[in-house]
Structure 1
Amino acid sequence: MRMNEVSFDDSRPVDGYGPGFFRVGGEVVQGAVLLSPGGVRAWGGFEDAAAVVGKASEVDFLLIGTGAEIAHAPPAFRQAVEAAGIGLEVMASPAACRTYNVLLAEGRRVGAALLPV
C-alpha cells in the first residue's frame, strides 16, 4: 500500500477542534463556524440560515455539525437550505469535520456549518 500526502489546494481543512473552538487551516476560530470555498467565518447557528443560503453558489453539499452529539436540524433551517438547492447532511461535529476534510481532498464543492463540541 502506498500512502500519499493529501492536498487541499487553496482550501482550508479542519485541523482540530475542542471545547468551544475549531482550528481551520492553522487558525483558531472560537464558537460556531461556517466553512466554504469562499472562506471561513463565524456562524450564528441554526438561527443564521441566511449565511448558509448565501453560500448556494459556492457549494453543492453542506455538512451540519451539531456539536458533540447528533441532533436534528430545525425544520425551518432545513427547508431554507434545501430550497436554495443545497444538499444537507446532519451529523455530530467530529464526524462532520472528518467528512468535510475527505470531501475537500476529493475536490468536491462542499461546505460545513459546525457547532462546537
Structure 2
Amino acid sequence: MRLNEVVYTDAQPIEGYGPGFFRIGGEKHAAPLLTGYKGTAPWGGYDDADPLLALEGAVDVLFIGTGDDIAHIPSGLRTVLEARGFGVEAMSSPAACRTYNVLLSEGRRVALALLPTG
C-alpha cells in the first residue's frame, strides 16, 4: 500500500472541535467563525453576510456548519449568496468540518462558516 501525505496549500484544515470552539492550525478559536484561504476570523452568524460575500470569486463552494444538527440557513442569506455565484452547502458543523477537510486536501477552492456545537 502506498501512502501519500496530505498537503494543504492556501488554508488550514479543521483539527478538532468541542462545545463552542474549533481547533485550526493548533489554535483554539471561538465559534461562530469563518475559515478558508484568507485565514480564520470571527463570524457574526446568519445575520453577518459581508464576510461571506467578501469571498466572492475566490471560492467555489461555501460550507455552512449549522451547529450540532443540520438545519436550513435563512432563505434570504442563501438567496444573496447564490445570486453572487456561490455554491452553498449547509450541514451540521461536524459534517461540514469533515467535508471541508476532504475538499481542501484535494486543492479545491472552499471556505467554511461554522456555528458552534454544544
TM-score by length of 2: 0.94
Q: Map Cα deviations across residues 43-96 of structure 1 (whole Å, 9 max, x no partner).
A: 100001111111113211101100000000000110111111110011000000
Instruction: Give aligned-pair identity as a percent.
Output: 55
Corresponding position of 1:87: 87
Corresponding position of 1:76: 76
Corresponding position of 2:3: 3
The whole-number CA distance in structure 1 between the counterparts of 2:106 and 2:17 is 22
Which portions of structure 1, spanning 4 or more consecutive aligned residues, are displaced by more than 3 angstroms? none
Corresponding position of 2:109: 109
Q: Compute the displacement of 1:2 (Å).
A: 2.4
- Contact 1:15 / 1:23 at 8 angstroms: preserved in 2? yes
The whole-number CA distance in structure 1 between the counterparts of 2:80 and 2:5 is 37
**What does 1:1-117 correspond to in 2, within 5 Å?**
1-117=1-117
SS in 2 for 1:47: coil
Q: Compute the displacement of 1:26 (Å).
A: 1.1
- Contact 1:38 / 1:58 at 8 angstroms: preserved in 2? no
Question: What is the letter of the counterpart of residue 22 of structure 1?
Answer: F
TM-align CA RMSD: 1.0
Matched positions, count: 117
The whole-number CA distance in structure 2 between the counterparts of 1:27 and 1:111 is 18
- Contact 1:65 / 1:93 at 8 angstroms: preserved in 2? yes
Structure 1: which 5+ residue stretches go unaligned?
A: none
Question: What is the letter of the counterpart of residue 17 of structure 1?
Answer: Y
